[in-house]
Structure 1
Amino acid sequence: MWQDWLRFVILISILGGGYMCDVAKYSKMYKDIKNLQPEDTLQLVLESKTKDEKEFFELIGNYLLQKKQKEVIEGNLF
């Protein structure tokens, strides 16, 4: 078990384990994304430059729609 952990630590150090992502930057991105309106995500999908980018924005749009649906169902607002 500890050997697996040691392998993981070695791999991380080889790959540049000193790097830490900018959590504040990604937290801000999350806050910005969760405030998108459906028409915003549609515009992002329609203006995507690549298939991968389009799929990414479609996933975000679907996620936001599912969140809204959950709120409506839980609040008996339908």
Structure 2
Amino acid sequence: MANRNKNIEVEIRETANQSDTLNEIEVLVKNKVIGTVRQAQDEQAMIWYKSDKEMTAKTVDEGIQMIISEYNLHDQ
């Protein structure tokens, strides 16, 4: 029997650390932070998962996708 797809609402919120040279975004599911993406100007994006694991990505969008993928694999 196949599982049905679940709709999960993902919220992307800019943090208070946002500036002209720093882009910092929190990814939330059900009002819980599942990860943070931070990218300084002209650098790779740093990703922090809620499990305190760190990774890098080329762009903020790629970082957001990585956080959502990690959540779908391990936390659902």
TM-score bracket, shorter-length normalisation: under 0.3
Q: TM-score, normalised by structure 2?
A: 0.27
Q: TM-score, normalised by structure 1?
A: 0.26
Larger strand fraction of residues: 2
Whose Rg is larger?
Answer: 1
